[in-house]
């Protein structure tokens, strides 16, 4: 027997006992954070970064928005403040004038919400996830947004790959909050819960809530329980730990 118990996990540690021959005692559920996993979620930020132009110290958009992601965005995902109210405060704190930020708002208000839905999804990853489902694995997408998953989003191809798409707003917290995974665990029921994300906040919070965590690729954001080199490796991993053999 192989123990995959999380060092910092709280509860559910007995669920990480697996057998190569028998699989898991309860259903395997993989929760995927789609941003920067299934698609590039930085399209909107990069576009806004270009609009700002020369009036910025950082040469890289990721460095420019680093504090935004850690100190501002979580309050938005919890529904505590409007998106552009927080963005205006952030940009002014970066040295932009109020007039410049208002100009950015007029330019971005028409385009930026659309860009925030992210870039094009990878069809190869979607095909891999379809294969993973054949092993009895339940797939849930946890979308970090203050809005319900509307009809426009549900029309996107990647949504149809999942058994369920949930918004963090429905959980009453952001994806970096331990409570999100505790509440989602209660909704999932009798299942071994695995979290994959390209966001270190999500990996850390899920681990502290007692979840198994999964990182795919070379540039992982944080230490995870299981690390896979490629998305294709997820198929064999699911075949070993899933609940049934693919047809």
CA proximity to 83, closest of 168, 41, 145, 141: 145
CA-to-CA distance for 181 and 141, rounded, in angstroms? 12
The pLDDT of 204-231, averaged and rounded, is: 88
Q: Which residues pair with 23 in a beta bridge?
A: 19
DSSP-derived 3-state class of residue 220: coil
Q: Is the pLDDT of residue 31 over 60?
A: yes
How sure is the predictor about 217, in pLDDT bands with cuts at 50, 70 and 90?
confident
Note the pLDDT tens digit of each residue in 144-196.
Answer: 876 555 555 556 667 888 998 888 888 888 888 899 999 999 988 888 899 99
Q: Is the pLDDT of residue 243 over 70?
A: no
When mean pLDDT is compared across 77-81, 111-115, 142-146, 172-176, the lowest value belongs to 111-115
User: Dihedral of CA 140/141/144/145: which sign?
Assistant: negative
What is the pTM for the complete model shown?
Answer: 0.75
Q: Is the pLDDT of residue 40 over 90?
A: no
pLDDT in the model for residue 16: 37
Task: Identify whether the C-beta of residue 222 lies closer than 8 Å to the C-beta of residue 203.
Answer: yes
The pLDDT of 219-239, averaged and rounded, is: 88
Q: Name the strand (E) or helix (H) holding 227.
A: strand 226-228
């Amino acid at each position: 027997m192989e123990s995959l118990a999380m060092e910092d996990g709280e509860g559910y540690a007995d669920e990480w006992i697996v057998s190569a021959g028998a699989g898991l005692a309860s259903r395997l559920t993989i929760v995927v954070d789609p941003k920067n996993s299934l698609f590039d979620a930085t399209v909107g930020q990069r576009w806004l970064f270009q609009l700002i132009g020369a009036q910025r110290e950082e040469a890289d958009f990721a460095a420019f928005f680093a504090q935004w992601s850690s100190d501002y965005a979580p309050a938005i995902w919890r529904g505590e403040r409007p998106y552009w109210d927080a963005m205006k405060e952030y940009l002014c704190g970066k040295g932009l004038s109020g007039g410049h930020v208002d100009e950015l708002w007029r330019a971005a208000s028409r385009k930026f919400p659309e860009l925030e839905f992210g870039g094009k999804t990878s069809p190869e990853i979607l095909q891999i996830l379809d294969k993973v489902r054949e092993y009895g694995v339940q797939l849930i997408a946890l979308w970090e947004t203050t809005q319900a998953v509307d009809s426009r989003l549900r029309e996107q191809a990647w949504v149809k790959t999942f058994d369920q798409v949930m918004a963090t707003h429905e959980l009453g917290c952001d994806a970096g909050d331990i409570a999100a995974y505790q509440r989602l665990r209660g909704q999932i029921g009798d299942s071994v819960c695995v979290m994959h994300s390209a966001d270190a906040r999500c990996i850390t919070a899920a681990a502290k809530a007692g979840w198994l965590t999964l990182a795919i690729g070379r540039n992982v954001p944080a230490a995870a329980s299981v690390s896979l080199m490629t998305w294709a490796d997820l198929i064999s991993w699911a075949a070993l730990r899933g609940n049934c053999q693919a047809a």
